[in-house]
Structure 1
Amino acid sequence: MKKLILVSALSLCSINVFAEVAVIINPSNASSVDADTIKKIYLGKSKSFSNGDKVNPINQDGTSVADEFNDKVVGKSSSQLNAYWSKLVFTGKGTPPEKLTSDQAVIDFVAANGNAIGYVDSAKVTDKVKVIATF
């Protein structure tokens, strides 16, 4: 019985570890964005959507979703990404994406801004935004 409870508890904990991250944009945005473009946007190497409109990327600050996104999409840990942006800011070559503190804050921002792109836990997505990729 103790083993069953332990296995159940570990299973519940591991569900969060493997949560999918959904990349979202405003529903009025008709741009197509692939995984490589998303990575370039979040590294400051791409500044516009496929239709030429300026992109406004939004990061999450210190959340497990941010860690998952950085690992799966950007290919860097949070500390590596902070170091990367610190170097660009110091040399005057870039400005990091604005950071918000929750999935709901990102959804609200993206829903209110036609040129925004963000990411949230896929289980939190609402009809206020459009999912363009999941990781």
Structure 2
Amino acid sequence: MRQCMIHLITFFLFVSCSYSAHALVVVVGKNNPVEALSKTQVIDIYMGRYNTFPNGVVARPLDRVAGSDAKQKFYRLLVNKSEEKINAYWARLLFSGRASPPSSYATNDEMLDELRSSKQTIGYVLESEVDDSLKVVYRFEK
């Protein structure tokens, strides 16, 4: 019985570590004064409702290119919408002149470079890609 319990605990630890490494997190560069954001604040920034961080600094959200797994997962976690619905949402806002969609980056490296070089940018990456040059400001609930 004890051996079975040890195997079970080991399994759950492995699964939880595996999930954590593949979890998306919202990040800013280390020079950005923002320490944390709520899910509502992240939604407001990414959906064009607000163009500043809570401290008043201009927020420039970064996105992945259409069709990327990361982008699809991010918007599912953030607003529970498909990429097609997000694209339709941005088409309406763009047409009305109310807002512009986030800048898109083809690769993670491009996005990471931009995040590291500007205090205004905000983006999403795998938790395993976060290093000392980035700050996690929001983690999705498991």
TM-score by length of 1: 0.82
Any gaps of 5 or more consecutive residues in structure 1? 1-14
The one of 53, 58, 67 aligned to 1:54: 58
Q: CA deviation at 1:107?
A: 1.2
Counterpart of 2:90 in structure 1 is 85
Once the two structures are superposed, the pairs formed by residues 1-135 of structure 1 within 5 Å of their partners are 19-31=22-34, 32-61=36-65, 62-135=67-140
SS of corresponding position for 1:59: strand
Once the two structures are superposed, residues 104-133 of structure 1 have per-residue CA deviations (whole angstroms, 9 ceiling, x without a partner) of 221110100111000011122222211112
Once the two structures are superposed, residues 3-26 of structure 1 have per-residue CA deviations (whole angstroms, 9 ceiling, x without a partner) of xxxxxxxxxxxx78x931011101
Q: Distance in 1 between matches of 2:95 and 2:112?
A: 30
What stretches of structure 1 move > 3 A for 4+ residues in a row? none
Aligned residues of 1:26 and 1:113 also touching (Cα < 8 A): yes
- Mark the structure with the bigger radius of gyration: 2
SS of corresponding position for 2:22: coil
Instruction: Letter of the 2:29 partner, please give it.
Output: N
Q: Distance in 2 between matches of 1:81 and 1:34?
A: 20
Q: CA deviation at 1:94?
A: 1.1
Once the two structures are superposed, residues 6-54 of structure 1 have per-residue CA deviations (whole angstroms, 9 ceiling, x without a partner) of xxxxxxxxx78x9310111011112231111001111000111111111
Aligned residues of 1:21 and 1:122 also touching (Cα < 8 A): yes
Identity of aligned residues (%): 28
Instruction: Letter of the 1:109 partner, please give it.
Output: E
Q: Distance in 2 between matches of 1:108 and 1:47?
A: 21
Instruction: Letter of the 2:51 partner, please give it.
Output: K
